[in-house]
Amino acid sequence: MKNNWNLKVFFLTFILAMIFSLIANVLGKFNNTILIVCIISIILIGIVFDIVGTAVLSCDTKVLHSRASQKLKGAKQAINLAKNASSVSSFCNDVVGDVCGIVSGSLVTILVVNLFINSNLSIWNVILSSVLSALTVGGKALGKSIGVKKSNDIIYRVGKILSIFSKKK
């Protein structure tokens, strides 16, 4: 097993879930508008990471090497992502994607309680959970097709973003 990847994923997921859950707890005390914005933001984060996770598995490293030979900023980082496609995809799709799904579900539950405290919660919980699921799954399905179709551009852009944080040699 390469560098105990499974153990790293376990602890990384635990830490991310804890951070997001603490944030969700704090957000539950704010008004519902902020809660809705946070739910939508977390869904979008999950979709974006799903796009990257899919793109890294389907990108063409020849295109990335061509960009690196032209000394384009971020190309080396993009190649590094492609070389570690399995781990990057697992992190993006499984760790971040699943944590976002769980946390957005928790936030929807808080929203349901906030909005409908004096009514029949079960029907609203079903409706809002269904909307959340449809947005998440539908968004990820759309994201996967975008990730496959535009994989080289997506991974190169992620490489450019990562190059900002890379040490200069």
Tens digit of pLDDT for each residue in 4-25?
Answer: 767 777 888 788 778 877 776 7
Rounded to whole angstroms, the Cα distance separating 22 from 45 reads 17
Do residues 85 and 45 touch, judged by C-beta distance below 8 A?
Answer: no
Exposure on the CB side of residue 38, measured as CA atoms within 13 A: 23
pTM, rounded to two decimals: 0.80
State whether residue 1 is helix, strand or coil: coil
Average pLDDT over residues 44-50: 93
Tens digit of pLDDT for each residue in 63-116?
Answer: 999 999 999 999 999 999 999 999 899 889 888 888 888 888 878 877 877 777
pLDDT of 22: 79
What do you get for the CA distance between the two ends of the chain, in Å? 31
What Å distances lie between residue 66 and 35, 71, 96, 116, 155, CA to CA?
44, 9, 30, 56, 14
Give the rounded distance of the alpha carbon of 21 from its chain centre: 15
CB atoms under 10 Å from CB of 27, counted, come to 21
